């Protein structure tokens, strides 16, 4: 996937999905370690429990910006 994204000129990933504390966290950590800028859309992700969701978000603060869908849309339209 890295090869395809780099050839497309992608530098920033907006990540949503299931299991914030597992799959989403792994994806963001891997992408950030490869030099991508990452944004986690907090209200477009979930985990089995609120505790797991909060833990995943906390763990990702050093790897991604955390925004809600509304914040992200506002930011995109402001550009």
> Which residues constitute the domain of residue 46?
2-70
Q: Is residue 77 part of a domain?
A: no
Cβ atoms of residues 39 and 15 within 8 Å = yes
Structure-token pair, residue 74? 């506002």
Tell whether the model's pLDDT for residue 13 goes beyond 90: yes
Q: Is residue 48 part of a domain?
A: yes
Tell whether the model's pLDDT for residue 79 goes beyond 90: no
Q: Is residue 19 part of a domain?
A: yes
CA gap 27, 45 in Å, rounded:
13
pLDDT of residue 14: 98
CATH number at residue 54: 3.40.50.850
The pTM of this model reads 0.90
CA gap 34, 20 in Å, rounded:
19
Each residue of 50-70: pLDDT tens digit? 999 999 999 999 999 999 999
b (16+ CB within 10 A) / e for 28-46: bbebbeeebebbbbbeebb
Domains in the chain: how many in total?
A: 1
CA gap 48, 77 in Å, rounded:
32
CA 35 to chain centre: 13
């Amino acid at each position: 996937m890295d090869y395809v994204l780099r050839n497309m000129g992608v530098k920033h990933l907006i990540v949503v999905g299931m299991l914030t504390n597992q799959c989403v966290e792994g994806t963001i950590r891997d992408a950030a370690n490869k030099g991508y800028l990452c944004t986690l859309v907090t209200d477009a992700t979930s985990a089995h429990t609120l505790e797991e969701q909060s833990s995943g978000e906390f763990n990702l603060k050093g790897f991604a910006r955390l925004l809600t869908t509304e914040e992200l849309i506002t930011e995109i339209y402001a550009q």
